[in-house]
């Protein structure tokens, strides 16, 4: 039986631990035959990502802080020498100051707003611009978003605004890169117990509330998100670009 990503090379940014959606996606890509390359942000994360990469069977681990242009340039230089080309890129990177997630949105600091937008949204633009030349044969760029981009989610605050910008970036990048055969999409996953999600105040209450109201009466499984990421990176998703695809057990269709 052929594998959906056989012969493809995928770059996955944002594998922080085994509970992250990026880890689940990288594992699904490997299952479907892709060569997987991971990045880590700083020396503090290096050992953890190297251990996860070994577990996943990743081909290479490369340092890359997406807020630093020189590191993106070095990433591309390394990829040119080692991989030659890319077929899929997963952007699973987001950050906001904890204090800006725990107080009313109107009290968001200027510096906190700028930081959340740069790391969580602009970084997709920077990554896409850097890697596009390596996708000369076309390919897929994927990012991860959340319902808080379009609806007010308690305590999501500035991250919701950053995700709204991320979704707009997805559409504009899809338009710019489409003529070269590069598709750009976002997956809006339901709440999942990731390390970053635990930074949101009262997150366990969100999980309980969502599970009670979704049509499927449960929370989102990371493997469901990963399988959707496989579809988007594979030839099965060749006609899909500029979209936000919900993988949230149907929660986004529900009213009060």
Closest CA to 157 of 104, 90, 222, 231: 104
Cross-strand bridge partners of residue 61: 38
Token pair for 77: 């230089």
Maximum alpha-carbon separation in the chain: 55
The one catalytic residue among 29, 40, 113, 146: 146
40, 122, 156, 172: which one is catalytic?
Answer: 156
Say whether 146 is catalytic: yes
**Under a CB-based contact definition with an 8 Å cutoff, are residues 132 and 182 in contact?**
yes
d(CA 92, CA 20): 9
| 3 burial type by CB count under 10 A (0-12 exposed, 13-18 middle, 19+ buried) | middle
Phi then psi for residue 221, to 5 deg, are -95, 130
Catalytic: 122?
A: no
Tell me which residues are annotated as active site: 146, 156
């Amino acid at each position: 039986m052929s594998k959906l990503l056989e012969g493809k090379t995928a770059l996955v940014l944002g594998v922080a631990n085994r509970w992250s959606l990026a880890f689940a996606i990288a594992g699904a890509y490997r299952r479907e035959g892709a060569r997987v390359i991971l990045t880590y942000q700083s020396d503090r994360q290096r050992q953890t990502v190297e251990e996860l990469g070994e577990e996943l069977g990743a081909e290479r681990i490369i340092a890359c802080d997406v807020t630093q242009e020189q590191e993106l340039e070095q990433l591309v230089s390394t990829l040119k020498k080692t991989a030659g080309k890319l077929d899929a890129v997963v952007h699973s990177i987001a950050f906001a100051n904890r204090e800006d997630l725990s107080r009313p949105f109107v009290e968001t600091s200027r510096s906190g707003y700028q930081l959340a937008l740069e790391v969580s949204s602009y970084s997709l633009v920077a990554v896409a611009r850097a890697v596009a030349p390596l996708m000369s044969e076309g390919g897929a760029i994927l990012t991860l978003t959340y319902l808080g981009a379009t609806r007010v989610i308690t305590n999501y605050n500035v991250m919701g605004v950053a995700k709204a910008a991320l979704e707009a970036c997805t559409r504009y990048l899809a338009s710019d890169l489409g003529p070269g055969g590069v598709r750009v999409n976002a997956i809006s996953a339901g709440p999942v117990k990731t390390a970053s999600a635990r930074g949101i105040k009262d997150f366990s209450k969100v999980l309980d509330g969502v599970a009670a109201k979704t049509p499927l009466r449960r929370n989102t499984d990371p493997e469901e998100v990963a399988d959707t990421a496989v579809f988007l990176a594979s030839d099965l998703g060749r006609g899909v670009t500029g979209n936000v695809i919900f993988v949230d057990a149907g929660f986004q269709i529900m009213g009060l």
